[in-house]
Homo-oligomer: A and B are copies of this chain.
Amino acid sequence: MRYAALAAVLSCTPLTLFADPLPSWNDSDSKNTIIEFIGNVTDPRGPNYVTPADRIAVFDNDGTLWAEQPVYFQFIFAMDQLAELAAQDPSILSTPALKAAAEGDLQTILEGGHDALIEVVNASHSGSSVEVFQASVADWLGTARHPETDLPYDQMTYQPMVELLRYLRDKDFKTYIVSGGGLHFMRVFAEQAYGIPPEQILGTYGETTYDSVDGTPVINKAPGIAFIDDKEGKPINIERTIGKRPIFAGGNSDGDFAMLEWTTAGDGPRLGVLIHHTDADREWAYDRESPIGRLVDGLDKGPDMGWVIVDMANDWSRIYTGAN
């Protein structure tokens, strides 16, 4: 009986007080600043206390929560999707860009510029219901493997960031994704991968139409991009959809500059975090010259604005959720 009582007491002891909430982060300034910030805004007796309703944290996805090299994973899906659609109906490959995409010839598409990209996105991301599209994404995630790591794409999420998201939620933050990536694409895996439900995912979205099929309403994905959730679009979408200014923002490229600027320019305690890809051995090293995830303004101006620049090589003891 005495042991049972002791066990009961122990099971009620908040062991998390002593456990490291961010075990995949090395003991560094980055980690300490983040933990200190979260401690400050959640300390009800401290001068920087923020009420739970205002604990809004927003995160970019590509390059912030999961990898993005050699090209955005959604674009690899688009090429694979086109190849699959073309296997059933080769006539859909009606332009050079679409033919290149179905062959996985990224170079030709990139040479075609913006128009070519839009062609590929339209052809691979419209023409079906949202439901059917998302089933395709789920199928793809279940079978496709990254060309370099051979990992399923949704295991190339960053373990340190998954821990940070969980830690923020443990501290009554509401965590959101605010990504240049596609809304419908992300919703397929974000809840399982990050613990973020559909209604907390903001992204780029295409036009949709409300149609009736044999008397049953269905929402279809139509050609055309309705909103691009990048650069100034991020704070605009946050204001429109959340209606509150976040107090914590994480990103990795200049596409996140406005979001971090908007977040940290408000009154009271705020934190901006940029993931700097410095780890050529375990991941990739890129910043100012990279066509994917270009980071210039954040490196030049971020530190003066108090932003944490996470040095992936030095600050993270582990990279991917799916591999040690």
Contacts and interface: CB of A to CB of B under 8 A. Distances in A.
Interface in A234-258: 235-236, 239-244, 258
Interface string A202-245: 00010011100000110100000000000010011001111110
Interface stretch (A16-24, A69-77, A80-88, A193-201): A193-201
A240 B199 contact: no
A12 interface: no
A243 B199 contact: yes
A198 B244 contact: yes
Given A217-B261, A241-B241, A243-B187, A210 B198 contact: no
A206 to B, nearest CB: 10
A235 B262 contact: no
Interface string A50-71: 0001000000000000000000
A201 B241 CA distance: 8
B242 A199 contact: yes
Contact of A198 (B217, B235, B243, B262): B243
Residue among A174, A210, A236, A242 with most chain B CB within 10 A = A210
Interface in A74-117: none
B261 A232 contact: no
Contacts of A199: 174, 241-244
A309 interface: no
